[in-house]
Structure 1
Amino acid sequence: MSMKINHELPLPEILKAEYPVPEKLKKIKVERDREIRDVFTGKSDKFVVLVGPCSADNEDSVCEYVNRLKEVADRVSDRLLIIPRVYTNKPRTTGDGYKGMLHQPDPDKAPDLLAGIIAIRKLHIRVMEETGLTSADEMLYPENRSYLDDVLSYEAVGARSVENQQHRLTASGMDIPVGMKNPTSGDLSVMLNSVTAAQHPHRFIYRGCDVRTSGNELAHTILRGGVDKYGKNIPNYHYEDLARLAEMYAKRELKNPAVVVDVNHSNSGKQFKEQIRIVSEVMHSRNYNPELKRLVKGVMIESYLVEGRQDISENHVYGQSITDPCLGWEDTEKLIYSIAERNA
């Protein structure tokens, strides 16, 4: 038989009871969720900055990073809304490589998904405890989000998942913003179809149950660039791309039109330093055109304590990515202050 059961995983309710969210943190999350919702509904003119490691690979270094981020967030809180990227599930194009803390809470050890589920829940709670910031994660496995749905304030559906029916339907039952990335092909219609599906109610099978959802009016788009049939990067963060997306939104009856621009991945060609320039261009486009200022709600930046990336090895550099290369802290801090100045 080609599939073997390693562990029977606990139900989400059981794990939540074992690792509960303290009452004071529940109140923090309610307020954070309201503040984030207000940005996506247009009640607030703050600009969202989703920023953090490509993949959260170490609890201590991630928490050190978010503690630094908290200090900056407090200084720019009148203009920006900082949401830390604490991505614990890492999609892999070929299936090879580090798949995130969910799979390997310790990158040096063999996969253990039971330990991983516990580790990522504890990590998200620790981030809240130490900083008062609630975080974003990627919905790589729709059924697994039930272990984290009481701690996350933002979720993204990746380029390789956005056409999947289960992701779309699950997103329709969420009450927080969910960003739908354009697929790796760069097709904007596919992305908008996904948003349309997520904003409508559905009935389907979820975790062995017949469920009904009411639709998620906070579902929105994320531009991350694409690749053509020859594997060449096709950026989609330019003014013309944003204007085209605004036109496409106008032709659909969607609530709360919004886009977040992912300034890494195929938009930067994974040239991590390019994120600085791309953010600048996005802010210029947004300030030049009032319609785009209403549409472009934020940017997504990959950043960690130490710039670049490394392979998993004995000579591990604390706070440096083991997946895609990231901006270092010094550049990140300057970039956030620059964004704040341009969102006057």
Structure 2
Amino acid sequence: MTQSNQQPISNLHIAAFDPMPTPEAIQAQLPLSAKAEATVSQGRAALINILDHKDPRPFVVVGPCSIHDPVAGLDYARRLKALADDVSDALMIVMRVYFEKPRTTVGWKGYINDPDMDDSFKVDAGMAKAREFLLAVNELGLPAGTEALDPISPQYLGDLIAWNAIGARTTESQTHREMSSGLSTPVGFKNGTNGDLTIAINAILSASRPHSFLGINSDGRVAIVRTKGNPYGHIVLRGGDGRPNYDTVSVTLAENAMTKAKLLPNVIVDCSHANSNKNPELQPLVMADVIGQIVAGNKNITGLMIESNLIAGNQPILADRSQMTYGCSVTDGCVNWDTTEQMIREAADRLRPILANRLG
């Protein structure tokens, strides 16, 4: 028998397959506490009541563009919890806890992928640290929302999430529509980066149906995941191609498109991204306009999103971490804490007198 001189044909561009702890192993290391479980359960129930129009309060997903420093992140969470309690009669607050960042080309992919921000890519450590952070936030009594980007991550973290977003770059993805159909939370689908609503509406319809696809189970074994479909998909308007879409005409067009598709016309407005022309200082103006629409009688705007941190703006990632500004974003620019508090308190003050009129 002659020996083959053929070159290998598999894994030609793979450098290594490093072992990763199973979801069950990381959950055993950082188990769900009774307090965290209650926060998740109550947060999801509140969101569902809002989306079913049984609760007249809008919800607000607010927090850093991305988590990169857990100490600053928990500092923010403690402040937000106190604020959330103060405005709970008018707004339901969810902390934005984003660990995964989709990149248009290249850049830091987030706390899970590269927790040390030095291209060491300690994904196993990042996943455990992400779970530890989510536990701490939920144990404060503050529900968490995140972007579902990697289809495997929900097996590790899904029990600590009250609300999921599917980003503008992935709303059209079959993988993310399938994943969303099995998520245990309400899911907000953003319109496309070009402002197109159709892909988000199609995503909501797709995710509402049962799907079968390849995934992993809690033991880390490859499995055929069979879902029931998620009835709580909704649209998130974030603007597109440099144009906003939070105005009354754009909101009405979104409502009409959803109604035509036989969907409950729940609309969430993202005050950031193209809606603020990527200028965080414009987010308060966007929010004030949207709250004005609710005060004027709109019953289908059921939530808002704000990118906010302790310090305004953003900063580059420096090799010397000690030279970086505490509580300042390393991804998109954010409004600072004082501005955030003012935005939310002013919105609550405007909403309190009219909330009873939103029911029925």
Fold-level match, TM-score > 0.5?
Answer: yes
Instruction: Report deviation, 1:35.
Output: 1.5
Identify which range, 166-175 or 16-25, moves more after superposition: 16-25
Aligned match of 1:212 in 213, 218, 226? 226
Instruction: Report deviation, 1:218.
Output: 0.8
| Aligned counterpart, 2:175 | 166
| Aligned counterpart, 2:73 | 62
| Aligned counterpart, 1:41 | 52
Q: Which amino acid aligns with 1:23?
A: A
Aligned residue pairs total 333
Structure-to-structure mapping, 1:155-194, within 5 angstroms: 155-194=164-203
Instruction: Report deviation, 1:168.
Output: 0.3
Kept after mapping to 2: 8 A contact 1:51/1:301: yes
Q: Which amino acid aligns with 2:169?
A: R
Instruction: Report deviation, 1:134.
Output: 1.9
Aligned match of 2:299 in 294, 298, 311? 294
Cα separation, 2, equivalents of 1:108 and 1:318 = 18
CA deviation profile, 1:271-298 (whole Å, cap 9, x unmatched): 101000011111112222x3xx321111
| Aligned counterpart, 2:268 | 260
SS in 1 for 2:152: helix
Aligned match of 2:277 in 266, 269, 281? 269
Aligned match of 2:120 in 91, 110, 113? 110
Is 1:98 aligned to 2:108, yes or no? yes
Cα separation, 1, equivalents of 2:247 and 2:35 = 42
Structure-to-structure mapping, 1:131-146, within 5 angstroms: 131-146=140-155
Unmatched runs of 5 consecutive residues or more in structure 1: 228-232
Q: Which amino acid aligns with 1:70?
A: K
| Aligned counterpart, 2:345 | 337
| Aligned counterpart, 2:292 | 284
Kept after mapping to 1: 8 A contact 2:255/2:267: no
Cα separation, 1, equivalents of 2:309 and 2:203 = 30
Is 1:306 aligned to 2:311, yes or no? yes
Q: Which has the larger radius of gyration?
A: 2
Kept after mapping to 2: 8 A contact 1:47/1:343: no
SS in 2 for 1:226: coil
Instruction: Report deviation, 1:143.
Output: 1.7
Instruction: Report deviation, 1:6.
Output: 4.7
Instruction: Report deviation, 1:126.
Output: 1.1
Q: Which amino acid aligns with 1:124?
A: L
The two structures have a TM-score, normalised by structure 2, of: 0.90
What RMSD over aligned residues (CA atoms) do the two structures have, in Å? 1.3
Instruction: Report deviation, 1:31.
Output: 1.8
Q: Identity of aligned pairs, percent?
A: 36
| Aligned counterpart, 1:81 | 92
Cα separation, 2, equivalents of 1:335 and 1:69 = 13
Cα separation, 2, equivalents of 1:27 and 1:329 = 27
| Aligned counterpart, 2:357 | none
Is 1:127 aligned to 2:137, yes or no? yes
| Aligned counterpart, 2:8 | none
Cα separation, 1, equivalents of 2:299 and 2:182 = 25
Kept after mapping to 1: 8 A contact 2:267/2:302: yes
Kept after mapping to 1: 8 A contact 2:93/2:143: no
Kept after mapping to 2: 8 A contact 1:58/1:106: no
Structure 1 outlier segments of 4+, above 4 Å: none
Is 1:9 aligned to 2:16, yes or no? no
Cα separation, 2, equivalents of 1:333 and 1:125 = 24
| Aligned counterpart, 1:230 | none
CA deviation profile, 1:275-333 (whole Å, cap 9, x unmatched): 00011111112222x3xx32111110000000011111231000000111100001000
| Aligned counterpart, 2:246 | 237
Structure-to-structure mapping, 1:195-210, within 5 angstroms: 195-207=204-216, 208-210=222-224
Cα separation, 1, equivalents of 2:300 and 2:17 = 46
Cα separation, 2, equivalents of 1:266 and 1:101 = 24
